[in-house]
A and B are shown apart, each in its own frame.
Chain A
Amino acid sequence: MSQRITVVEKILGANEQLAAANRCLLDKAAVFSLNLMASPGAGKTSLIEQTLEALGGRYKVAAVDGDVATSIDADRAAAAGAHAVQINTGGECHLDAVMLSQALAQIDLDATDLLIVENVGNLICPANFQLGTHCSVLIASVPEGDDKPYKYPGMYQGVDALVINKVDLLPYVEFDMDYFRRGVEALNPGLISFSLSCRTGEGLSEWTAWIAQQVERQTEVE
């Protein structure tokens, strides 16, 4: 006899439960955490380096770097002063909550103020997998083009903050900032954004001030 069973269950529900457990761990240790997402080459690692330099040892920072292969990014984050953990995803195009929980086990969270997770460079898949971090940050970069919100709505729609990197290249490339911002606003109304250049340092202070504010707030909660 055939029978229909109503399920109505989110297919990534298991990942979301584990993400919630990660969040619990981070909150308990009063760690503020960021999930940096961007296409390859947008400047995720550079932003981590510049942020660490600007914060100048004010906070104890841990970095989790997700890449398909190599430890280049973790090495750069470590050189900039972070306790760095590399995750090689072995071909997976994104980090998920399981990978982050394994990385968290290698970090002394009680001795950490700020956790920066550098996701795999990709504008599609990371948007679907919650990690449990407090804030998802998308880094767009000027040379990528102004049409990215229109092409990757899932990514732009799901983030909590936006960094527009490489603004020093605006005079040299075709990038219609109004068109770009209209797309962002449609997908994610009121999204907080920071225009900066990791190369020249322009705009970085607003970004790092915001990070510091979030870290302080998380520490106060404790």
Chain B
Amino acid sequence: MHELMITESLLEIALRHAREAQAGRITDLYLVIGELSSVIDESVQFYWDIICEGTLAEGATLHFRRIPAAMACQECSETYDPKVDLTCPTCGSSNVRIVSGQEFYLEAIDVNTEEAAPSASTYSGAVA
């Protein structure tokens, strides 16, 4: 439901890094999304196709790297997928920690440095 805002934030971060590198175009974005972060790929993609238009990132491909959720038992050291139950499947303890699945960041972008960077006015139009 909040993917529009997230996608706008994603675009803003990508454009900022591309500008710093004086890149002409962004071709690919590499996102890391943990399974527990409640962000839906299809929804981000849907908004992306709309908001990237007219920017340096127009037509750029989104790559989603999903990190599965994992919990670790602090009693018996078992690491497990918490889909079935949250408590440890081996010893039944609820002294457990989430060890992965909460990630949500932009890892890298691919840019094309050959194409000349558009003028400043294009940038401001793109960001707005």
B1 at the binding interface (Cβ < 8 Å): yes
Measured as residues with beta carbon below 8 angstroms from the partner, the interface class of chain A is: 35 or more
The dominant DSSP class at the B interface is mixed
A-B contact count (CB 8 A): 115
A200 at the binding interface (Cβ < 8 Å): no
CB-based contact A1/B1 at 8 Å: no
Q: With the chains together, A129 CA to B113 CA distance in Å? A: 35
A21 to chain B, nearest CB (A): 17
Q: With the chains together, A107 CA to B28 CA distance in Å? A: 44
CB-based contact A4/B108 at 8 Å: yes
CB-based contact A2/B112 at 8 Å: yes
Output the nearest chain B residue to A15 by Cβ-Cβ distance.
B9
**CB-CB under 8 A for A7 and B109, given A94-B2, A186-B96:** yes
CB-based contact A11/B17 at 8 Å: no
The dominant DSSP class at the A interface is mixed
CB-based contact A8/B107 at 8 Å: yes
Q: With the chains together, A2 CA to B9 CA distance in Å? A: 24
Q: Shortest 3 CB-CB distances between A and B: which pairs?
A: A186-B86, A93-B1, A185-B94
Output the nearest chain A residue to B26 by Cβ-Cβ distance.
A5
CB-based contact B71/A6 at 8 Å: no
A119 to chain B, nearest CB (A): 13
- Cβ–Cβ < 8 Å partners of B39 in chain A: 128
- Cβ–Cβ < 8 Å partners of A12 in chain B: 6, 9, 104
**CB-CB under 8 A for A124 and B1, given A4-B109, A7-B107, A11-B104:** yes
A63 to chain B, nearest CB (A): 23
